[in-house]
């Protein structure tokens, strides 16, 4: 069977989907005790009879109420899209995207329509540190770290990763091969699936590292620009230069540097003021002008943010240090 043939099969309604479409309620085929427990746990005994990885299509036409798992799960949006809630956070999963869920995380899935095909890929807990990790190329990538954390019974299980990999041909190819291998069930298919899962983890790690490199390069360009133009630079001027709105620039700087645009420019003013005091004989007013201030009081207020010493006191300490160094 080819993958195109499998897609046709997956589009067909199974018996549970027929009931859910006609009756409009969730068929509790796993017999979860929703009436007794607010957020029941999905039993893993139902899924891993053939091996350490289980793959199936999520039933359409009904909401899947909040629940947790005792296993790690990949959700792959083969076609269409869906809305999920992971620990209360709304996730819109689009075609080709992948959601990696740690065990014990709370998940809820909105009703899927006819063209929304969501594939569940479940990983038995014990397999994460055996077959999968043994086959993995050693990496400090975020995916490998996530899986290692999920295999540790003492770790805090509240993590998820949303991979925007719909355009990543390498990831899509591995996912299609993995799913097809499971449904074809040819000789050694479980071993093949484990190897493909290892390859998937590697490709996902590469995609994240590549994305991070791109983001880092953009951040470096942004910081270089601010460093050159900081004395009289505004956030709107930066956003215009880089083609983004001010909120995007502000959020990016805060997220990746821990400082807001104003905090970054103030810090650059402070550091450059210190350098000018150390390397030149310029007056404090001249230094204030050079770092972007129109008066001396602004320079003193700047120093008060970072030190208890005034610029005059700091310059005296610098002069004393230089004198002692020349003795």
Q: What does the DSSP assignment read for 124-157?
A: -GGGGGTHHHHHSPP---HHHHHHHHHH-TTS--
Structural domains of the chain, ranges and CATH numbers in brackets: 3-213 (2.60.120.280), 262-326 (1.10.10.60)
Q: What is the pLDDT of residue 116?
A: 97
- Tell which residue, 227, 228, 252, has the closest CA to residue 239: 252
The angle subtended at Cα 161 by Cα 159 and Cα 163, nearest 5°, is: 175
Give me the pLDDT at residue 126, please.
Answer: 60
Give the largest CA-CA distance in the chain: 93
Q: How confident is the model at residue 139, as a pLDDT? A: 47
User: Where are any strands of DSSP class E within 58-143?
Assistant: 64-69, 72-79, 81-86, 89-94, 98-101, 107-109, 117-123
**C-beta neighbour count of 238 within 10 angstroms:** 21
CA 214 vs CA 67, 207, 208, 209: distances in Å:
36, 11, 10, 9
Residue identified by tokens 């299609």 is: 176
Nearest-CA neighbor of 162 among 223, 108, 90? 90
Contact 66, 107 (CB under 8 A): yes
Residues 6+ apart with CB under 8 A from 200: 171, 174, 175, 178
The pLDDT value recorded for residue 143 is 60
Nearest by Cα to 163 from 77, 79, 71, 83: 77
Q: Is the dihedral angle over the CA atoms 72, 191, 50, 1 positive or is it negative? A: positive
Whether the CB-CB separation of 272 and 291 falls below 8 Å is answered with: yes
Distances 206 to 77, 168, 177 between C-alpha atoms, Å:
20, 11, 19
Q: What distance in Å separates the CA atoms of residue 19 and residue 13, rounded to the nearest whole number?
A: 10
Q: Which two tokens stand for residue 132?
A: 């999968």
H or E stretch at 42: strand 41-42
Nearest to 41 by CA among 107, 111, 137, 115: 107
Give the pLDDT means over successive 10-residue stretches in the chain (327 positions). 95 95 90 90 86 94 92 94 93 94 90 97 69 43 57 61 89 96 94 91 77 67 88 92 87 84 92 91 95 94 93 89 54
Task: Specify which residues 53 forms β-bridges with.
Answer: 123
- pTM here is 0.64
Q: How many CA atoms lie within 13 A of 148 on its CB side?
A: 11
DSSP symbol at 128: G
Q: What is the pLDDT of residue 157?
A: 60
Q: Give the C-alpha separation, 71 to 250, whole Å.
A: 38
- Six token digits for residue 12: 């067909």
């Amino acid at each position: 069977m080819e993958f195109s043939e499998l897609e046709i099969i997956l589009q067909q309604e199974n018996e549970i989907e027929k009931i859910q479409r006609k009756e409009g309620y969730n068929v509790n085929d796993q017999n979860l005790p929703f009436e007794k427990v607010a957020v029941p746990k999905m039993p893993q005994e139902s899924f891993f009879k053939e091996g350490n990885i289980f793959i199936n299509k999520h039933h359409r036409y009904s909401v899947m109420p909040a629940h947790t798992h005792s296993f790690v799960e990949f959700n792959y949006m083969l076609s269409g899209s869906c809305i999920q809630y992971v620990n209360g956070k709304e996730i819109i999963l689009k075609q080709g995207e992948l959601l990696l869920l740690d065990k014990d995380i709370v998940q809820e899935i909105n009703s899927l329509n006819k063209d929304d095909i969501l594939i569940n890929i479940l990983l038995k807990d014990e397999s994460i540190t055996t077959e999968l990790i043994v086959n993995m190329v050693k990496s400090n990538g975020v995916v490998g770290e996530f899986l290692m954390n999920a295999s540790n019974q003492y770790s805090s299980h509240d993590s998820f990763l949303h991979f925007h990999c719909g355009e990543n041909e390498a990831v899509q190819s591995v996912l299609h091969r993995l799913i097809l291998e499971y449904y074809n069930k040819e000789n050694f298919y479980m071993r093949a699936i484990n190897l493909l899962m290892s390859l998937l983890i590697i490709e996902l790690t590469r995609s994240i590292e590549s994305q991070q490199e791109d983001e880092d390069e953009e951040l470096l360009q942004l910081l270089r620009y601010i460093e050159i133009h900081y004395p009289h630079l505004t956030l709107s001027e930066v956003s215009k230069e880089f083609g983004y709105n001010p909120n995007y620039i502000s959020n990016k700087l805060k997220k990746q540097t821990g400082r807001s645009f104003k905090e970054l420019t103030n810090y650059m003013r402070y550091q450059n003021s210190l350098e000018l005091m150390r390397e030149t004989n310029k007056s404090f007013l001249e230094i204030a002008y050079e770092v972007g201030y129109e008066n001396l009081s602004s320079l003193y207020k700047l120093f008060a943010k970072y030190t208890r010493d005034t610029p005059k006191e700091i310059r005296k300490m610098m002069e004393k240090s230089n004198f002692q160094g020349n003795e």
